[in-house]
Structure 1
Amino acid sequence: MVILIAVAFIISVVIFAIVKPAACSALYAGAALYALYLPAGLLVKWKLSKGFPIAFLVYFLSLIAAGLLVLSIPQIGEEFFKIREAQAHYYSIAYQCPLGKLITTLQTVFLAPLVEEVIFRGILFEETRRALGTAPAYFVSSLAFALLHYPGLGALPIFIIALSLAFAYQRYGLPASVMIHAFQNTVATLFFY
């Protein structure tokens, strides 16, 4: 079923990419790329342990720590906010594309959290944990996640948040990290509407 949904989504995105302006192609291609990785979710365990609200508490504490880092070290804050400006510019362009708001929202709120958590926590965290142990798994998966989202010093606040996602995954299961990641992206997306 997941594969059929992914294929249907990819076909519709390809049609829009062919018919519509080139400026929208990146949006459609990005959404299609995320959809291609949906079947990777079949490779990992899906369990949600009791005590899940504690993962949200750890996440909120990581937000506070990340915010303090951004506000207290000017170089980190400058890089972080430059990237936020670039993201706002991306959203303003994406929202002008046919179905832009819908595709951007689906990609940001549903596809990205699901696919990224499967890749960074379900696969990378687990493989690193098996090979090197739990502490290196936290570090490697969180650093890779942060650097994918922000280059340079701007990645540090994301690294802190990624550690809380790794905690949610390791302690409460993949559904916990996916839900927290989706919550994070939903709140971030609301700022761009």
Structure 2
Amino acid sequence: MARYTGPKTKIARKFGEAIFGDDKSFEKRNYPPGQHGNNRRRGKKSEYAIQLMEKQKAKYTYGILEKQFRNMFKRATAAPGITGEVLLQLAESRLDNVVFRMGIASSRPAARQLVSHRHITVNGEKVNIPSYQLKAGDVVAVREKSKSLEAIQNSLANANHVYEWITWNTEKKEGTFVSVPQLIQIPENINVQFIVELYSK
């Protein structure tokens, strides 16, 4: 599957926040990219530009391509509830995102790779689809043969985030996706209303 593999700091600078996690390069140059850097005059952004930027931020944050994102929006529109909130909930319920949230991987791309390489199980079954949608109560675990992987051990050792909708058992190296998070619980700085307005045009 095609995915963005270019310079991440440049993208983070475009949005003005470290959307890919801790980034020392971003901290040094937290202004928009370009030849003139901070000195370039930037006119007021149009409503469309703001909406488009918010959609792109969401796509880069969760590592989702345009076609996937559009399909996810269609699912969110058809589902009961507020479309924008459901959209983010669908993104948060992806297996690669939950593996990242649990601390099994240090980033979403790393989590996607672990899932693709069959290091992760869901309810005891191997699942190698990063976009697999988890349901409340699903148990996500590191496969028995993969528990000694250095990358997983290092990531778990440095994991310090606690999320209300996820539980984690360090001894068993498994966690439970307790429930779909509410919009207020999701830590990502994404204005879903702009995305809904963009797709509604």
TM-score tier, shorter chain, comes to under 0.3
TM score, norm. by length of structure 2: 0.26
Structure with greater strand percent: 2
Greater RCO structure (CA 8 Å; 6+ sep): 1
TM-score by length of 1: 0.26
Which structure has the bigger radius of gyration? 2
- Structure having the higher helix fraction is 1
